[in-house]
Amino acid sequence: MAASQDRSLGRSGGIVAGESTAPATFTGNRALQLEEPLIFEMGQPGRCGVDLPEPPKVKDRLNGLRRTGDVGLPGLSEPQVVQHYTRLSQKNYAIDMGVYPLGSCTMKHNPRINEKVARLPGIGDLHPLQPVSTVQGALELIDALAHWLKTLTGMPAVAMSPAAGAHGEMCGMMAIAAALDAKGERAQRRIVLAPESAHGTNPATAAALGFTVKPIPANDHGRVDLAALKAALGPDVAAIMLTNPNTCGLFESEIVEISAAVHAAGAYFYCDGANFNAIVGRVRPGDLGVDCMHINLHKTFSTPHGGGGPGAGPVVLSQALAPYAPYPWIVKDANGWTVAEDGARVDGQPLGRLKAFHGQMGMFTRALAYIMSHGADGLKQVAEDAVLSANYVMAALKDVMTPAFEGPCMHEALFDDGFLKDTGVSTLDFAKAMIDEGYHPMTMYFPLVVHGAMLIEPTESQAKEDLDRFIGALRSLAEKAKSGTAAEDFKAAPRYAPRRRLDETLAARKPVLRWRPSNSLKQAAE
């Protein structure tokens, strides 16, 4: 109790590791950046923000399992709760605050028209168990989005229900497994090829479905090594999972040859479409020989995401894979729009359901609003501007940082840590110093094929002067690092953040997932 009182009265020092340039404050607050304890540490016994009626007296039917101790909820007044969560919300960095250059994630602006449409009562207040006759418009909306996804990708079918990119991978690879099954080849084709630069979800998906993952090396230009791929293809290969543009921010220029080789070997081509933002409106993956591809609606077609949600990962499928698409799908007949569920009369062998209900309705609405408000010309410009922004960043930094590969990039600029060699500054230190400059770091140490990778995806939605300031900050940090005298400074960054360097290894190895009154203070400080 004494310890928690100390914490609530004066919190300066202690928690902040290393030396700070800012003077310690009595409260631990830094200007209007407020320190925040856990809500459990703030609670006082007997305090309550709501007025609940006494529970009715009922006979205990729990057969001795009735709780005897406290529930353990913190006791707080309503203003305390409101203030706590408002302070927490201000600790989040967000796409609505500034440049969010996290490569591979496409943290782009979410146009407010999307939100306006998603909040219309006829859409926002829907319940998935409403009778179909009362949700005709919603079903038509899903079908309209499906139409545009098929049109933009040049693919004949789409499964709308997967809830994220990784879930879409699962859906697509299950369709491939089902198609192999139907041909009697599932037992023989056990291998899934994945480039070394692949997003971790690709090998994870293949492994979760029981395939053996075989990595394909990259060539010196950051693309799939075609000769190595051809050598790996054989009667034991089920599919390749390939991202295009790839996670090095480069277009796989030999993609048509890759797909031809994969098909000639009797395997399928799964395309990870998470980077569709870079080519939407310009290239149709169907024309490149793709058999199926997920689309991260939350990346390419906006919707704020990160931190676990929300997402939507519809999967477009070729004619050959369409018969295995999961339930449900939307059909129109003489009675209007209906939902094809398990038991619907179909020619193929749908692989069952992947999730409850019909998919992420709010995301569908935002994606359709995004597509329709941009139009065909606007979507094409999205891709062009995303690529232009990344190349602008690349060109403006390439004399002080080291681009991982030569030549122009697609929608993200990839640097390695070559420019930090012998400076005593690592990629991690560099990223931490960006925080002091007010920038969320770029993606670090991914893709793995590049040493000390720094992957910057500016997206199409930042103004030029904001990119210029971002570039200016990175240039100044790079020059400072290369001066050879600033390593200490970098190691001490971030100096201005409420928390500085945390022991991430300890947090990963010994995560403290549960608050307990006795040990909270010590562990929270760690």
Strands 454-456 and 212-216: unpaired
- 76/283 with CB nearer ligand PLP: 283
Residues 171, 176, 178: CA angle, nearest 5 degrees? 90
- Minimal distance in Å, beta carbon 292 to ligand PLP? 14
Q: Which of residues 240-259 bind ligand PLP (CB under 6 A)?
A: 243, 247
3-class SS letters over 85-98: HHHHHCCCCCCCCC
Binding residue (CB under 6 A) for ligand PLP from 139, 142, 152, 166: 166
- Minimal distance in Å, beta carbon 163 to ligand PLP? 8
- Per rule CB under 6 A, is residue 223 in the interface with ligand PLP? no
- 28/311 with CB nearer ligand PLP: 311
- 114/423 with CB nearer ligand PLP: 114
Residue 291 burial class via C-beta count within 10 angstroms: exposed 0-12, middle 13-18, buried 19 and up: buried
- 194/471 with CB nearer ligand PLP: 194
Question: How is residue 263 written in tokens?
Answer: 């098909």
In angstroms, the CA 148 to CA 410 distance is 23
Residue nearest to ligand PLP (CB): 165
Residue 464: strand, helix, or coil: helix
Element (H, E) at 266: none
- Contact by Cβ (8 Å): 459, 277: yes
Got the DSSP string for 64-89?
A: T----S--------HHHHHHHHHHHH
CA trace torsion 305, 306, 311, 316 (10° rounding)? 100
Binding residue (CB under 6 A) for ligand PLP from 218, 274, 293, 410: 274
- Per rule CB under 6 A, is residue 164 in the interface with ligand PLP? yes
Q: Which of residues 88-107 bind ligand PLP (CB under 6 A)?
A: 104
What is the distance between the terminal CA atoms of the chain, rounded to a whole angstrom? 19
- Per rule CB under 6 A, is residue 313 in the interface with ligand PLP? yes
- 272/429 with CB nearer ligand PLP: 272
Interacting span for ligand PLP (CB under 6 A) from 163-171, 388-396, 401-409, 434-442: 163-171
Binding residue (CB under 6 A) for ligand PLP from 201, 244, 302, 303: 201
- Minimal distance in Å, beta carbon 134 to ligand PLP? 31
Binding residue (CB under 6 A) for ligand PLP from 11, 199, 374, 432: 199
In angstroms, the CA 488 to CA 115 distance is 45
- Minimal distance in Å, beta carbon 305 to ligand PLP? 7
Interacting span for ligand PLP (CB under 6 A) from 136-144, 158-166, 360-368, 441-449: 158-166
In single-letter form, the type of residue at position 380 comes to: K
Residue ranges binding ligand PLP (CB under 6 A): 104, 164-166, 199, 201, 243, 247, 272, 274, 296, 311, 313
